[in-house]
Structure 1
Amino acid sequence: MKAALLRAPNDVLFGDVADPTPERGDLVLKVRAATICGTDIRIVSGRKTMGVRYPSVLGHEFSGEIVDAGGSSRFRAGDAVCVDPAIACGHCAYCKRGLENVCENLTAIGYEVDGAFAEYIRIPGRALETGNVFAMPDGVSFEEAALAEPLACVINGQEKVGVERGDVVAILGSGPIGLLHVKVARLSGARRIIVSEPNPARREAALRAGADVVVDPVNEDLKAIVRDESGGIGADVVIVAIGVPSLANDALGLARLRGRVSLFAGFNKGEMAPLDVNAIHYNELIVTGSFGLTRLQFEKSLNLIASGQLDTKPFLTHRFALPAIGEALETAARGDAIKVAIVS
């Protein structure tokens, strides 16, 4: 089959690889849509190396059609499915506490298991046993279903930071993740949503997604605008939705007393930034991280898309066929697109 093989940082070769060789119980899907994540870009560029294998096939946001059901009693060939790519073990100390996204033995499709930038993908039988494989709801396209994974990660982040009805929410960064945060914050009942983004096209995208105010942090005083929009006290919630370490400290200065700050975005290994620990201490700030997703959050995400409560279609701005994976990755890395999809 054809696939995009990551051989080393900045070395992605499109060509022939071995067909998936499923063991009993595994599924094989024909990939119908796979979207490019910021994490994929960081891996390709070499800025993220932890857990990365060479050679490997990336792609963890995807949907497809079953071509080999592996003897499953739940699914059959021809079924349209999407997959939560984070497979928890179910028995470690964290899984027992219901914290499967930080499972000690997490197996991730697109990292430990070859991913979806390929014609076909093997889904381990364990993913079927654990309930990581979901039938696609009627009316949901393959492209929309591929976005269930990043949306579920955003749901996880907002559940951690506790966005509540009536909150003023400031979001730093208006890439695909920042825009999803806008959508989810609005569904959670946020009163005012302020988005900080230097890219004018992405500021416009934030307004279309439902932001009330967009700010150019290069030429405008973000802190003054947040205070003005919040009655002078600062945001209830601040979400760092882009992996720029210095923004973590900026976020502390935007939050009100006893405000909540989410360091949602992943940062490159070795990148450090000072934090004003006195601001955390004296202002009684709650600062939280956010990693991955759970199966329940994936299901919530899929239901939000299927019900029409959260429209992901406008996010899909660029589409490429698999042979153009190099151009697709370059487009995503440049920031020209909101979300880039590989479709078949």
Structure 2
Amino acid sequence: MRAAQFLEGQFTVAEVEAPPALGSWQIRIDVVACGICGSDLSVSKDPCRFVGVAHAAGYPLAEFDAERPVVLGHEYAGVVAEIGSDVADFAVGDRVAGIGLATDTASGIPTIIGYSNTYHGAFGEQIVVDAYWVRKVPDGLSLDHATLAEPLHVGEMHVQQSGLTASDSALVIGCGTIGLGAIVAAKAHGARVVIASEPSPARRELAKLMGADIVVDPTEQDPIAVWNALAADGNSLVSEADSGILIAYECSGRAGVLNELLHQLPFNSRIQVLAAGFAEETIIPVVGQFRRIAVNFGHGNYQEPYDITLRRLADGEIDAEALITGRVGLDGVAEAFTALRSPREHVKIIVHPRGSAD
């Protein structure tokens, strides 16, 4: 099959070996569209660091041999080409999307497709995934738009885990797709006020479109100072916020943000980390203790965040097309990665491995 494979810092379009034979619980999918994820950018920047951190953390889902080619991409949508013998909920020809997990039939170890030398990602014409994580794409929702359920659902999942209530306010730091998903989710869960902090003008406009009440350019204004001023002035947005707290959703992945938040957030705040970086981070733990700030990297219960997000897309609650700022074929993958490393204009670039969308 044709794929854009990655090795030694370069993307090359080539004929690669097809994904493995199906386990009884798996589905083979002809990929129509796949988004480029921030973690794909992390791999392309330093694959050895990516794999080393995953290995040291005991996280087998993202371990692969960085000295061998990989086909990245896990924000997929496509058409079912083959089903395993125990798969009952899908048929060949179904339009599907989902979470890109596959359990190795030989070892029984799960992996994220694309972060494996064997289970290729969706920057190729076919993938194999576990049926448990696959969903049918609702009629009327394009496969391009369905790919957005994967990154956007991260926001829904973390808002649920953060315990946000209608008494609380949300500060979303970084308005890439995950941050925009956090804005959508915070508004849906009734946050009193949602402040978005983002240096890119294009992404600030999208933050407004997704429902942010206040949008701040952090190079000109401190978003925490903005919230503090609203509270001090008794602004109607936060005038009844005494019973709630401010929850910061860190979606930028920028080094140093965690330490800044620990020092600057109001006492009794929370930090929910959605886009964690791969670099080492220095914090002073006692600062968080002094200020009684809880930090959550993803602990806690959640219910059906992917299904909820897919339904929002299908119902038109999210302007999906506004989030897609580019589309490329396999030959354009390398250029797309370059563009996304300086994301002043782009949010989500969709790859079409077969040359066109549905």
Q: Is TM (by shorter chain) over 0.5?
A: yes
Q: Relative to structure 2, which stretch is displaced further, 38-47 or 147-156?
A: 147-156
Is 1:76 the counterpart of 2:91? The answer is: yes
Map of 2:166 onto structure 1? 165
Q: Per-residue deviation at 1:178?
A: 1.4
**Structure 2 Cα separation of the partners of residues 222 and 298 of structure 1:** 29
Q: Percent identity?
A: 29
**Structure 2 Cα separation of the partners of residues 86 and 294 of structure 1:** 18
**Structure 1 Cα separation of the partners of residues 145 and 328 of structure 2:** 15
Q: Per-residue deviation at 1:140?
A: 1.6
Map of 1:175 onto structure 2? 176
Map of 1:255 onto structure 2? 265
Map of 1:340 onto structure 2? 349
**Structure 1 Cα separation of the partners of residues 341 and 134 of structure 2:** 29
Is 1:20 the counterpart of 2:32? The answer is: no
**Structure 1 Cα separation of the partners of residues 30 and 126 of structure 2:** 5
Aligned partner of residue 181 in structure 1, secondary structure:
helix
**Structure 1 Cα separation of the partners of residues 75 and 325 of structure 2:** 16
Counterparts of 1:62-141 in structure 2, within 5 Å, are 62-71=76-85, 72-86=87-101, 106-112=110-116, 113-123=119-129, 127-128=130-131, 131-141=132-142
Q: Relative to structure 2, which stretch is displaced further, 109-118 or 13-22?
A: 13-22
**Structure 2 Cα separation of the partners of residues 328 and 221 of structure 1:** 31
- What are the Cα deviations for residues 130-185 of structure 1, in whole angstroms up to 9, with x where unaligned? x2121111222111211111122222211121222142211111222111111111
Amino acid at match of 2:276: G
Map of 1:242 onto structure 2? 252
**Structure 1 Cα separation of the partners of residues 188 and 139 of structure 2:** 22
Runs of 4+ that moved beyond 6 A: 291-295
CA RMSD of aligned residues (A): 2.6
Map of 1:56 onto structure 2? 70
**Structure 1 Cα separation of the partners of residues 188 and 23 of structure 2:** 42
Q: What stretches of structure 1 of length at least 5 have no aligned partner?
A: 90-103
Is 1:42 the counterpart of 2:50? The answer is: no
Map of 1:5 onto structure 2? 5
Q: How high is the TM-score relative to the length of structure 2?
A: 0.82
Amino acid at match of 1:110: G
**Structure 2 Cα separation of the partners of residues 23 and 288 of structure 1:** 37
- What are the Cα deviations for residues 54-79 of structure 1, in whole angstroms up to 9, with x where unaligned? 31111010010012234443322211
Aligned partner of residue 301 in structure 1, secondary structure:
helix
Q: Per-residue deviation at 1:118?
A: 0.6
* Residues 150 and 306, structure 2, Cα contact 8 Å, conserved in 1: yes
Aligned residues: 322
Amino acid at match of 1:321: G
Q: What stretches of structure 2 of length at least 5 have no aligned partner?
A: 55-62, 234-241
**Structure 2 Cα separation of the partners of residues 45 and 38 of structure 1:** 11
Q: Per-residue deviation at 1:301?
A: 2.2
**Structure 2 Cα separation of the partners of residues 205 and 213 of structure 1:** 12
Map of 1:226 onto structure 2? 227
Is 1:316 the counterpart of 2:338? The answer is: no
Q: Per-residue deviation at 1:274?
A: 2.0
Cα gap change, 1:120 to 1:274, in 2 (>3 Å):
same
Aligned partner of residue 267 in structure 2, secondary structure:
strand
Cα gap change, 1:260 to 1:43, in 2 (>3 Å):
same
Q: Per-residue deviation at 1:242?
A: 0.9
Map of 2:60 onto structure 1? none
**Aligned mate of 1:283, from 272, 282, 291:** 291
Map of 2:281 onto structure 1? 272
